[in-house]
Structure 1
Amino acid sequence: MNNNFHIFPSENFIDLCLYQYGHEKCAPGHLFGPATRNHYLFHYVLSGTGTLMAADSKGENHSYQIRSGQGFMIFPGQITTYIADVNVPWEYVWVEFDGLRTTEILNVCDFSADSPVYRTRSAELREKMAKELLYISEHSDQSVFHLMGHLYLFLDLLAQSAPAPKPAVNSKMSDYYIKEAINFIEQNFQNDISIEDVAAVCGINRSYLGRIFRTSTGRSPQEFLISYRMTKAAELLKLTTLSVGDIGCAVGYENPLHFSRAFKNVYGISPREWRNLHK
């Protein structure tokens, strides 16, 4: 298996943020899952074929055969497994992203847990989109702003090439509260903060914050906090020689066992195993 994998070095983007990206030539029968993700993950198949098994909005499992020129979207918290064909394994490029504008973008493209497969009638737009994904995967040495620009270009082409794109919905006043909440989490994730603290900073109650946060981002404030902490932990594991215990403290976990458990829930392996894989 030939795997090109990168972690985006910055999370200081609220409306849209890139988390991880890569380019993979799978071995025959290569399998990933069952697993869940913290962010949205899009795969575009350059060649070959394979199978996606994904739970829909009701938790019922479905299988999709996905071949060259198609793609699939994985949603936060959605249980998925995907397997490369034994005879003609797929090669794909992928990006993991999230942000306040993500739900709006996916609505324009008409993606949902019930409709996760990307298909288009425009070969020209599809090829342009694939080039943007390949560009991102091959230029990890560029600045964060450069890569974010190409992420926006990719999403624009994804929306343009959708079979029946929907009009975008205007932003809501509640986005102000969500931005305030995210800013507070980003500045205080290393401290012992609760969602009540986040809501209090915004001047609203916890239940209202949870409702508008999930509507706009597809997940709860608690899920966002844990995801943010674990992404920061992954950066420290890869870029520093700090101990696992020290890294846990640096992202808000005084108990190393609690940190390791939370990390494994997100990445599927322990912090130590993750570090060994990504040195």
Structure 2
Amino acid sequence: MNLVFHLTGKQAPQLSDIQGIQEHSLFKLILIEKGEGFYQINSRTISVVAGDLLLIAPNEAYELSGLQTTDRWLVCFDISNLGVGMAANPMLLRLNDELPLLLFLTSKQSEMRHFHITAKDLPRWLTWLQQLEHELCDQALGFVDMAQSLLMVVIIEFMRLAKPQLKNYSLQYRPLLIEVFRFIEANYQNSISLCDVAKEVGRSSAYLTDLVRRETGKTVLNWIVECRMANACRLLLNTNQSIDQIAEAVGYLDRRHFSRQFLHLHEITPDAWRQAHLNHRLHPKMLKKKVGVEESKLAETTSLSYQAA
């Protein structure tokens, strides 16, 4: 399912309330049209101004309340559902490979997926998004193909901005890295090890360890832990599951081991992390103080368009 929202003021879509949608599986691309604010992702707070463009990965823990003082566009999409015949479309195949690679490599540096559209180029982006919204709202003849084409343009333009983030990674080894990261993403909730990953990609453990460390600066086991912790943050923020349940859901049978790993990565316990982020959500005055603006008097309007997959 692909969706596009044009948001003004405090209102925000409750994606979990939309029938048939699995919010945690969607990419979220956000363009700030007017105003200033901030968002939180993976325990980081990042400021935004008009023209800023950012991408949130599936399964990432994020909070967008700080954007209530902006006019913004939110595009939600599943790259695997961009169209039938992906195997016959080299561009779709490349996007399906490079977008997940970019997300893994920037998992702890989300600001590397945060770009600024110049005043000269911003009208083009707004035109694409307005046309995408129009197609999904009107649903005229051929709207599915038109909407997918417009979405492809938006994603390709984003990847052009992100290209420098991948330039330090060898073209020769990118396909192997993609295999590694895909296997981790699909199996992090199981008790996978370096040997399991190496066997899946047809390499020895020693070779894979050396390659991944050399190319990314981290080991395979580091990436497994980071993937698990990112999903743990999402569950802490968006569910009422206990710490024991979350630990098991992300691949840990021992809560104490999970808590130690979480503390090592985030320098805070899972319980404390959850409480801090929930308190931040429940106290909007903190948001106004953070942004440093008077309460917005903008009309709270929302337009929603969506295409069922």
TM score, norm. by length of structure 2: 0.45
Bigger radius of gyration: 2
Greater RCO, 1 or 2 (C-alpha within 8 Å, sep 6+)? 2
Q: Going by fraction, where is strand more abundant, 1 or 2?
A: 1
Q: Going by fraction, where is helix more abundant, 1 or 2?
A: 2
